[in-house]
Amino acid sequence: MWPSDHPSPSFIIIIIIIIIKNEAIAKRFSISGAQLRVYLHYQPSYYHLHVHFTALSYDAPGCSVERAHLLSDIIDNLECDSQYYQKRTLTFALRADEPLLKKFQEAGRV
């Protein structure tokens, strides 16, 4: 999932910034941080790393387990094993009309 064998200092800083943003969003909207779903999308299900903050009460498109990685899970996984994402195969779903699926089919990977 991540481009190096160990989370880089810059990646750790990004995680810290996300946690701070989570606190700021919770404060701004007067909700508990526990009421927010914080998750990341990353390749291959999306083409670039990006973060979402959504209320648990909102069933956001793309927040399903096939496409999203909860921030809390990422932190736990990296605390247990800094090379977790180098060792783990991530499963993901693609719609039949997605260009990425076509590329996998052309490469004989599906």
Catalytic site residues? 50
CA–CA gap between residue 12 and residue 23 (Å, rounded):
17
- 5 closest CA partner among 80, 83, 75, 90: 83
Report the sign of the C-alpha dihedral through residues 101, 103, 104, 110, in that order: positive
The residue ranges of DSSP E strands in 34-86, in sequence order, are 36-41, 50-55, 69-70
